[in-house]
Amino acid sequence: MRLTLKIWRQDGPTSRGELKTYPVDDISPDMSFLEMLDVLNERLNDQGEEPIAFDSDCREGICGMCGLMISGEAHGPEKTTTCQLHMRSFRDGETITIEPWRADAFPILRDLVVDRGAFDRIIAAGGFISVNTGAAPDAHATPVPKENADRAFVAAECIGCGACVAACPNASGMLFMGAKVTHLGELPQGQPERATRVRAMVATHDAEGFGGCTNIGECSNACPKGIPMDVISQLNSDLRKAASGSF
């Protein structure tokens, strides 16, 4: 395959960035998108040019570090993570525009790398349960209804990649936060801190500069794990109950 890549280049957080064009050829349709970028970086190295900085870790669709805007779509044209996107999803001769996540809460560090520390701070504010350490309890010691367990598992699939924020016109993190609140809120272990959790997480979300949710639905559509929008409804419900003291 022969492709034309338009890639965002930016030396640092305060530098002015721009799209630069790179032609690539001899790209196998079976390569992953990140492997294609690896090939380009090897060629840039050979030419004495600065390679393109981008995030990746597991390359198995688990960690979410690989998020990119690809021709205007979070993670690209398939509903998967960027590392699991393959070049057969593109046409020979196609021009592909590659950009970092664009959100005030995700400042650009360099090229395609953004700082997603805002997500970490939301989790630190309340995305946890407080328990005594020691031996693990028996698996059947605290019964959980299957419906609740299933919903908790669905919400827990969120990998925190940030595609929901990148796809949202408001750069809202409500789908991510709703998944974390729903995951813990469906389980008995999450009940004691349920009210303080949602208040602290929402306050941190807003302080970090994320936008508000207007129920457009692009977040769930872009999510590689298919987190449903009803977790946002759960988040809003929990917040109302926490504010009224009705938990």
Q: What is the pLDDT of residue 141?
A: 84
Residue 137 has pLDDT above 80, yes or no: no
Q: What is the pLDDT of residue 236?
A: 97
pLDDT digits (tens, 9 = 90+) for 59-91: 999 999 999 999 999 999 999 999 999 999 999
CA–CA gap between residue 186 and residue 152 (Å, rounded)? 6
Residue 132 has pLDDT above 90, yes or no: no
CA–CA gap between residue 9 and residue 100 (Å, rounded)? 10
How many Å from the N-terminal Cα to the C-terminal Cα in the chain? 58
* Burial group, residue 140, by CB count within 10 angstroms (0-12, 13-18, 19+): exposed
Tokens of 40: 């380009």
State the pairing for strand pair 18-24/73-74. unpaired
Q: Among positive and negative, which fits the CA dihedral 58, 230, 153, 191? A: positive
Q: What is the pLDDT of residue 153?
A: 97
Provide the percentage of residues in the chain whose pLDDT is more than 90. 94
Q: What is the pLDDT of residue 38?
A: 98
Closest by CA to 203, choosing from 177, 183, 184, is 177
pLDDT digits (tens, 9 = 90+) for 158-213: 999 999 999 999 999 999 999 999 999 999 999 999 999 999 999 999 999 999 99
Using 50, 70 and 90 to split pLDDT, how confident is the model at 140? confident
The H or E element that residue 202 is part of is helix 194-207
C-alpha to C-alpha distances, 108 to 1, 30, 218, nearest whole angstrom: 30, 30, 22
CA–CA gap between residue 30 and residue 85 (Å, rounded)? 10
Q: What is the pLDDT of residue 136?
A: 77
Using 50, 70 and 90 to split pLDDT, how confident is the model at 45? very high
- Quickly count: other Cβ atoms within 10 Å of residue 165's Cβ: 30
Q: What is the pLDDT of residue 66?
A: 97
Q: What is the pLDDT of residue 234?
A: 97
Q: What is the pLDDT of residue 208?
A: 98
What average pLDDT does the structure give for the chain?
96
Contact at 8 Å (CB) between 81 and 74? Answer: no
Contact at 8 Å (CB) between 52 and 44? Answer: yes
